[in-house]
Structure 1
Amino acid sequence: MAVEGKDRSKALEAGAQMLSGQLGKTVQRLRKAYNLSLSELAEQSGVAKSIISQIERNETNPTLATIWRLSQALDISIDRVLSSADDEPFIEKASRADTPILVSEDGKMRLAIIGWIKTVEWLQWYDVQAEPGAVLESDSHQRGSVECLSVLEGEFEVEVGGVVQQAKTGESLRYRCDRPHTVRCVGSTPGRAVMVCILKAAVMD
């Protein structure tokens, strides 16, 4: 359940204090994931370049307003910037009825959304089942996004920018998905795969 109003502000302020040592690294990783210079991030966020530099070096404790402006410029929720790992163990179960299904236009490829809703802004993954000849055409995702298709059964083909590559059972294809791309089941038997999409907001080295 989302925290609202004053409780939300208190939670964010507490998160900012608790993660002061990690915030700079997070901002720097996000900036680099976007291929932004300090000057470009300063221009987009309205936060002075010198302040951003100090934040990245953990030499200052930014105000909530500053964190908010940076989160907007980096296209990521402030909750995620300030979120901390919960040490409490948990197990969540999603039933088949609770799992959304996407279907390709030709009706021959089905993608069960098995990813976690809390990661949907930066990481998505799907259980792919396809009939022979199935085609999934996708528009461009956010700039800098990468997709991975790991084939469990059958044979698939991926086309990006005129480049085509195939993968059989046990093989994987990784490709830029920030441009139109097409996935096809090219074998004579049904195909099964796991598809993972790492979006532009992912925090990566």
Structure 2
Amino acid sequence: MGIETKERGGRELESGAQIVSGQLGKTIQRLRKAYNLSLSELAEQSGVAKSIISQIERNETNPTLATIWRLSQALDISIERVLSSGEEEPFIDKTSRSDTPILVSEDGKLRLAIIGWIKTVEWLQWYEIQAEPGGELDSEGHQRGSIESLSVTSGEFEVEVGDIIQRAKAGDTLRYRCDRRHIVRCVGDQPGSALMVCILKAAVME
């Protein structure tokens, strides 16, 4: 999208102010904090100056579409969703399978589809897990006080938190503190699937 508009002389790129809602700054800041990125880190990943990102988050500048595109790429979200507005209007939001971000575990045996809504990512995140036998997701702790819930839909999983290990089969749900290192494993000899929801500390703040 950003590349195509450059070929038309850049006029469209400068029209970002005409279509960006006042929610843009909040959206960028919410995503950055959800991924635990500093302004400097997001600047490095996106190629957008730290000072510009700071001004965008405070709604003190009208960024071009090229800038929004670079930020959306760094934050793994489509530019259309970054630019969306009308929070109080009725809507049905759809994300196709091909547009759903996928994370792959280090062993390559577990895939984590990010199916949560971007507007809640700062305090509520949810994922779809597809795993081969033996696949595991080894995660560092989230914000202090955060809770994770794993609902198994097929196969068998186990969760390890500290010295505690608990198993769950299809139809079972495990809930556990995730503000410390925690490991989710697909056990047994069959592939497994599960839905994982993470309730971050921000959900109970204020």
Q: How many residues align?
A: 128
Q: Which amino acid aligns with 1:3?
A: G
Matched residue, 2:116: 115
In structure 2, C-alpha distance between the alignment counterparts of 1:166 and 1:94, rounded to whole Å: 32
CA–CA distance in 2 between the matches of 1:108 and 1:87?
41
Give the 5 Å matches for 1:139-158: 139-158=140-159
Residue type at the aligned position of 2:132: E
User: What's the counterpart of residue 164 of structure 1?
Assistant: 165
2:137 matched residue in structure 1: 136
Structure 1 residues 199 and 4: CA distance shift in structure 2, 3 A: closer
Where relative contact order (Cα < 8 A, 6+ residues apart) is larger, the structure is 1
SS state at 1:167 partner: strand
Q: Per-residue deviation at 1:4? A: 7.7
**CA offsets, 1:44-93, max 9 Å, x none?**
xxxxxxxxxxxxxxxxxxxxxxxx9xxxxxxxxxxxxxxxx955321011
Q: Which residue of 2 aligns with 1:95?
A: 96
In the aligned structure 2, how far is the partner of 1:130 from the partner of 1:152?
12
Aligned equivalents of 1:4 and 1:177: distance in 2? 30
Residue 135 of structure 1 and its aligned partner are, at CA, apart by 1.1
State how far apart, in whole Å, the 2-side matches of 1:135 and 1:99 are: 21
Partner amino acid, structure 2, of 1:124: Q
In percent, how many aligned pairs have the same letter? 70
Unmatched runs of 5 consecutive residues or more in structure 2: 1-19, 26-57, 59-85
Distance in structure 2 (CA, Å) of the matches to 1:198 and 1:132: 27
For residue 203 of structure 1, report the CA deviation from its aligned partner. Answer: 3.5
Deviations 1:143-199 (A, max 9, x none): 000000000000000000110000000000000000000000002100000000000
2:22 equivalent in structure 1: 3
For 2:142, give the aligned amino acid: H
C-alpha distance in structure 1 between counterparts of 2:205 and 2:174, whole Å: 19
Computing the radius of gyration from Cα coordinates, the structure with the larger value is: 1
Any residues of structure 2 matched to 1:8-23 within 5 Å, and which?
none
Deviation at 1:96?
1.3
The ranges of structure 1 where at least 4 consecutive aligned residues each deviate by more than 2 angstroms after the TM superposition are: 85-88
Q: TM-score, normalised by structure 1?
A: 0.58
> CA, structure 1 residues 96+4, in 2 after alignment: closer, same or farther (shift >3 Å)?
closer
Could you tell me which amino acid in structure 2 is paired with residue 110 of structure 1? R
Rounded to whole Å, the distance in 1 between the matches of 2:107 and 2:87 is 42
Q: Distance in 2 between matches of 1:160 and 1:181?
A: 5
1:1-205 to structure 2, matched below 5 A, reads 1-3=20-22, 86-203=87-204
Distance 1:204 1:172, change over 3 A: farther
User: In the aligned structure 2, how far is the partner of 1:157 from the partner of 1:141?
Assistant: 19
What CA distance in whole angstroms lies between the structure 2 residues aligned with 1:2 and 1:203? 27
Counterpart of 1:156, as a letter, is F
TM-score (norm 2): 0.58
Once residues 188 and 2 of structure 1 are traced to their aligned partners in structure 2, the CA distance between those partners, rounded to angstroms, is 50
Residues 2/141 of structure 1: CA separation in 2 closer, same or farther (3 Å cut):
farther
Give the distance between the partners of 2:172 and 2:127, measured in 1 at CA: 17
